[in-house]
Structure 1
Amino acid sequence: PVTLIALTLTRSTLDSWGGFLINFYIAIISIVLSFPLGVLLALGRRSTLPIVRLLSTTYIELIRGAPLFVLLLLAGVALEFFVPVDLAPGPIFRAVTVFTLFTAAYVAEIVRGGLQSVAKGQTEAGKALGLNTSKVTFLITLPQALRNVIPAQIGQFISLFKDTTLAGAALSVLEVLNIGTAITKQDDFLGQGYIYESLAFVGLLFWVGSYVMSRESQRLEKRLGVGQR
């Protein structure tokens, strides 16, 4: 006799993901998107055009003055007052959007500090060679600034990585801390003290992730000669 086994594959959506993979996904996508946006905001804040400088400065100061958790709560609650429920994006998309916009403001200030650290002689030398302001910025000052701020940038990205746990509390995203605490509240584990083991395991995961990012940052700094003249 021949036995046929039918397999049914169901399409997995992003909102059906869970665990540490969600934290990693939110962090990586937010870092990739916030970095170029932050660079543009930093350049905009130093722009000679008043309207561009005003808009960039206003955005940076407003975002930096707002608590991240409050912004996540607004993304989870207030958005539904303006967008129909069937058209509203999922919680993971909202989390990535908030983390990107929030981190970009801090990246902008870090990059702006790096631009200010570049010696004025570099700019004057570029202009002496006949380069316009844009070429001086993108070919001379910006590369040096980005190299100088690598430690601060990595520190900001590590902070973003750890802050992804806020998405669970604010948007009910099934990230690793949310799942860990939910497991300990089940009847089989309730009142047995497993919450400490759960939190310790989650903390270990984030420590390992942060340590890896820090070590890679040190390797990159050494390769690029950050802090050396």
Structure 2
Amino acid sequence: MTQTDLSWVRTEMAQAMPAPAGERGLVAWVRKNLFASVGDTILTLLGLVLVALILPPIIDWAFVQAVWTGPDRTVCATIAQGGIQPDGWSGACWAFVNAKFGQFMFGRYPLEERWRPILVGILFVALLAPLLIPRVPHKGLNAVLFFLVLPIVAFILLVGGMFGLPHVETPLWGGLLVTLTLSFVGIVVSLPLGILLALGRRSRMPVVKTICIVFIETIRGIPLITVLFMASVMLPLFLPAGVTFDKFLRALIGVSLFAAAYMAEVVRGGLQAIPKGQYEGADSLGLSYWQKMYFIVLPQALKLVIPGIVNTFIGMFKDTSLVYIISMFDLLAIVRQNFSDASWASPQTPASGLIFAAVVFWLFCFGMSRYSMFMERRLDTGHKR
């Protein structure tokens, strides 16, 4: 082959060409995702028909005919566009939510002290946001501040009784404050405790393994309501006379232990999915048991079970509404309690309050779900089994 035969060889990479016009843009996305086949087309059309039937009445009830402000139930019960309706107001009573918003957020927490939970909320968001954003540096310091310093500061601010802050008893807490506090403590405690329980259940030491199995199967075999009832009502009966501790603390312990048992099974599933070669490879490097778990096994196992972990967190967040059984008023309970307020009794009050609570719960659960999907994509190594 002569030199002239090689003259066609490129000396630099060719420029990337744009995608074909039919493979990008809104029309291409619609064709690919909504009308890719006859079945997809039928389902898409049925979905559009359902949306056309359901969405307009919802918009009319929630926004067009809704009452947004007012002093009492009269704005929701009698007044309507164009006059008085005998069957009551036809739109949502957001005036009720607006009037009771402070209680929905803080319960009966004193008005003059509500700056304290607000400050805790600001600190919570300020420390959580950089912890969740991968590009933000100093994750170690951020984690110490969030998991160790923030709980102490939050306890001082919320409970008071020190540094000149008036003491606020936990029975006065309520609303979203109780829901978020129970959820945050439950998440922080249940994940590491669940990991330890999962490792203990796979341990070769009979005593440790038996204790972990008994704990996990006992907690998973009874409903959360029973755990809360036992922690609130039965536990004080087994304590020495005059010895007791706060009911809210009992609820925190009950929720955390309940979530930890389920978390242990999720983590155990991830541990069992790790190939045996990973354990043998770590042993061949001379790593100790805890080094092997910390550096080799757990990072892979936890990545595999991110959906299960987040699903447990979401379930626990929603299950906090069960603390109503022990006379603690979370967001849902405080909304329902205000239905008995005669000054706001109207046909639309219950629906408006419950939809408000549902939207708040959905926002938090949807946020956790979307972030877990983001972490799955970020940690995906492309490995296919």
Partner in structure 1 of residue 227 of structure 2: 71
Q: 1:186 to 1:84 in 2, by over 3 A?
A: farther
Partner in structure 2 of residue 107 of structure 1: 263
Q: Equivalent residue of 1:165, what SS?
A: helix
Query: 1:82 Cα shift?
Result: 2.3
C-alpha contact (below 8 Å) 1:64/1:102 kept by paired residues: yes
Q: 1:46 to 1:9 in 2, by over 3 A?
A: closer
Q: 1:191 to 1:147 in 2, by over 3 A?
A: same
* Cα distance in 2 between the residues matched to 1:166 and 1:187: 25
Deviates more, 1:73-82 or 1:202-211: 73-82
Q: CA RMSD in A?
A: 2.0
* Cα distance in 2 between the residues matched to 1:64 and 1:226: 33
Partner in structure 2 of residue 199 of structure 1: 354
Deviates more, 1:183-192 or 1:144-153: 183-192
Query: 1:53 Cα shift?
Result: 0.5
2:189 matched to 1:33?
yes
Partner in structure 1 of residue 212 of structure 2: 56
| Structure 2 gaps, min length 5 | 1-163
C-alpha contact (below 8 Å) 1:30/1:96 kept by paired residues: yes
Partner in structure 1 of residue 81 of structure 2: none
Q: 1:112 to 1:178 in 2, by over 3 A?
A: same
Identity %: 39
* Cα distance in 2 between the residues matched to 1:9 and 1:152: 41
Q: Aligned AA for 1:60?
A: I
- Residue from 305, 326, 331 that aligns with 1:149: 305
Which of the pair has the greater relative contact order for Cα pairs under 8 Å at 6+ separation? Answer: 1
Q: Deviations over 1:146-199 (max 9, x none)?
A: 11111110010000000000012x111121111111111122234634111111
Query: 1:84 Cα shift?
Result: 6.3
C-alpha contact (below 8 Å) 1:26/1:164 kept by paired residues: yes
Question: What's the TM-score once normalised by structure 1's chain length?
Answer: 0.89
Q: Aligned AA for 1:181?
A: R
| Structure 1 gaps, min length 5 | 1-7
* Cα distance in 2 between the residues matched to 1:162 and 1:203: 10
Larger Rg: 2
Partner in structure 1 of residue 334 of structure 2: 179
Query: 1:35 Cα shift?
Result: 0.9
Query: 1:128 Cα shift?
Result: 2.0
Aligned length: 221
Runs of 4+ in structure 1 displaced over 6 angstroms? none
Query: 1:87 Cα shift?
Result: 3.8
Query: 1:129 Cα shift?
Result: 2.0
C-alpha contact (below 8 Å) 1:35/1:104 kept by paired residues: yes
Query: 1:226 Cα shift?
Result: 6.7
- Residue from 239, 245, 255 that aligns with 1:89: 245
Summarize the alignment of residues 159-178 of structure 1 with structure 2, pairs less than 5 Å apart. 159-168=315-324, 170-178=325-333
Q: 1:51 to 1:227 in 2, by over 3 A?
A: farther
Partner in structure 1 of residue 364 of structure 2: 209
Partner in structure 2 of residue 4 of structure 1: none
2:198 matched to 1:42?
yes
Partner in structure 1 of residue 18 of structure 2: none
